[in-house]
């Protein structure tokens, strides 16, 4: 087994691959409502290019890939791509992050496609608040996806970004989902990746404030051990089937064990969510570089990895973070 280490001695084993920048929702914290400049198709990595990149990285020691976007299921050809990467030797886990709008009918295929775990983004259980946040009336189809995942026994994490004035009243109802469902509900700090659809924060809900809110309602909530390289602090409420996670995505408390690489739909290779890309892997592929030359570029990039998200943000050439998360994948 290969081990890929960065310059801080952190093992790197996890790739987050954003397969499209297009999305069928318009979450206000992620994208502006109008005037989105989608990347022209020739500037996107093709499925064949992505398959080659995954193979090369798996040879180097990556054993887990998360497919994200934009919304992965809006790009044609995704199922065939999943089928192909599922045959790559050494790739232990393929996970998906989805908004659930188009996903329910595909869930019965997930086992065959090797998808063992799904992150379902859902910020509220209320249809009107869902519309206010996402600017689309799609709560019903997302909920069908949640039910389909439960019915097929697919490991499910529900990801909710916590935002004052938008979904604070959902924290407890969402935590209640863990009472009867074997699900992990994760509350995430909002980050400034909003495609310049900047908005005022009434009050920032950081991980401590989210935990305090949970403790007010569930004084017996208790801490679980966090798996290695986890970004979430894990908790459980006594008697509940599922678990709760709190992700300090803006406070960046977990960088010391970060094992992730990211590739954007345009091929930007990122060694931190907060950097602006350290090289473009699509350009290398299209210049005809050999497998070995591409792998050595990856290796080289890992020898200059920022120690944490603050350092990475400070080194950005593009200035402050403002790009849409749909161009990165989360
Ligand atoms: N479309 C898929 C989905 O909705 O799950 C995958 C891509 S989406 C960009 C990935 C995750 O990023 C979602 O859970 C979304 O809530 C989260 N996200 C987007 N913008 C964010 C922001 N500004 N702060 C925190 N999380 C954000």
pLDDT in tens, the chain (330 residues): 568 999 999 999 999 999 999 999 999 999 998 888 889 999 999 999 999 999 999 999 999 999 999 999 999 999 999 999 999 999 999 999 999 999 999 999 999 999 999 999 999 999 999 999 999 999 999 999 999 999 999 999 999 999 999 999 999 999 999 999 999 999 999 998 988 766 666 789 999 999 999 999 999 999 999 999 999 999 999 999 999 999 999 999 999 999 999 999 999 999 999 999 999 999 999 999 999 999 999 999 999 999 999 999 999 988 888 889 998 989
Is residue 243 lining ligand 1, measured as CB closer than 6 Å? no
DSSP structure class, residue 72: G
Q: How far, in Å, are 158, 204, 239, 244, 305 from residue 210 at the CA level?
A: 16, 10, 21, 11, 30
Tokens of 177: 């989902």
- Beta carbon of 264 within 6 Å of any ligand 1 atom: no
Query: Is the distance from CB of 137 to CB of 106 less than 8 angstroms?
Result: no
β-pairing verdict for 14-18 and 260-263: parallel
Please check whether residue 177 is in contact with residue 143, taking contact to mean a CB–CB distance below 8 angstroms: no
Distance from the CA of 244 to the center of ligand 1, in angstroms? 18
**Which of 121, 189, 274 maximizes ligand 1 atoms within 8 Å of its Cβ, making it the mutation to test the pocket?**
121
Phi, psi of 95, rounded to the nearest 5 degrees: -120, 165
Report the pLDDT value the prediction gives residue 317, as an integer from 0 to 100. Answer: 87
Which three-class secondary structure state does DSSP give residue 277? coil
Q: Is 190 in the pocket of ligand 1 (CB under 6 A)?
A: yes
Task: Find the 166 Cα to ligand 1 centroid distance in Å.
Answer: 15
Look up residue 264 and give its DSSP letter: -
159 lines ligand 1 (CB under 6 A): yes
C-alpha to C-alpha distance for 221 and 179, rounded to whole angstroms? 12
**Which DSSP symbol is given to 42?**
G
Which is the closest atom of ligand 1 to the Cα of 119? 5
- The confidence score (pLDDT) of residue 320 equals 82
Distance CA 63, CA 49 (A): 18
Q: Which of 254, 256, 224 is nearest to 242 (CA)?
A: 224
Cβ partners under 8 Å of residue 65, min gap 6:
14, 15, 16, 17, 54, 85, 91, 93, 94, 95
197 pocket-lining for ligand 1 (C-beta < 6 Å):
no
> Rounded to the nearest whole angstrom, what is the distance from the C-alpha of residue 162 to the centroid of ligand 1?
12
What's the pLDDT score for residue 88? Answer: 98
User: Left (φ > 0), alpha (ψ -120 to 50) or beta: where does 270 sit?
Assistant: beta
Q: Give the bridge partners for 247, in sequence order.
A: 188, 232
CA torsion 162-175-330-81 (nearest 10°) is -150
The pLDDT assigned to 202 comes to 76
Rounded Cα distance, 18 and 35, in Å: 21
Sheet containing strand 260-263, edge to edge, reads 222-223, 232-236, 243-247, 184-189, 155-162, 115-121, 93-98, 64-68, 14-18, 260-263, 268-270, 279-280
Query: What is the structure's pLDDT at 1?
Result: 54
């Amino acid at each position: 087994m290969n081990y890929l280490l960065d310059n801080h001695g952190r093992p790197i084993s996890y790739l987050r691959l954003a397969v499209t920048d297009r999305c069928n929702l318009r979450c206000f914290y992620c994208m502006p409502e109008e005037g989105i400049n989608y990347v022209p198709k020739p500037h996107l990595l093709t499925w064949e290019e992505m398959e080659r990149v995954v193979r090369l990285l798996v040879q180097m020691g990556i054993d887990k890939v998360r497919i994200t976007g934009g919304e992965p299921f809006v790009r044609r050809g995704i199922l065939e791509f999943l089928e192909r990467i599922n045959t790559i030797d050494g790739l232990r886990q393929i996970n998906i992050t989805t908004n659930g709008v188009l996903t329910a009918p595909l869930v019965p295929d997930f086992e065959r496609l090797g998808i063992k775990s799904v992150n379902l983004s859902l910020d509220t259980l209320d249809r009107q608040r869902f519309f206010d946040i996402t600017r689309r009336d799609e709560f019903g189809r997302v909920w069908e996806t949640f039910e389909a995942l439960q019915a097929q026994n697919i490991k499910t994490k529900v990801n909710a970004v916590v935002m004052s004035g938008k979904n604070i009243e959902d924290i407890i109802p969402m935590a209640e989902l863990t009472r009867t469902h074997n699900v992990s509900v994760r509350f995430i700090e909002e980050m400034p990746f909003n495609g310049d659809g900047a908005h005022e924060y009434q009050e920032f809900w950081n991980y401590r404030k989210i935990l305090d809110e949970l403790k007010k309602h569930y004084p017996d909530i208790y801490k679980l051990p966090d798996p290695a390289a986890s970004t979430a602090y894990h908790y459980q409420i006594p008697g509940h089937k599922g678990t709760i996670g709190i992700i300090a995505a803006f406070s960046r408390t977990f960088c010391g064990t970060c094992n992730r690489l990211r590739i954007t739909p345009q091929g930007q290779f990122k060694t931190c969510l907060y950097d602006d890309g350290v090289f473009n892997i699509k350009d290398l592929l299209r210049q005809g570089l050999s497998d070995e030359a591409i792998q050595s570029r990856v290796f080289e990039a890992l020898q200059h990895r920022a120690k944490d998200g603050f350092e990475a943000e400070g080194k950005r050439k593009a200035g402050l973070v403002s790009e849409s998360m749909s161009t990165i994948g989360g």
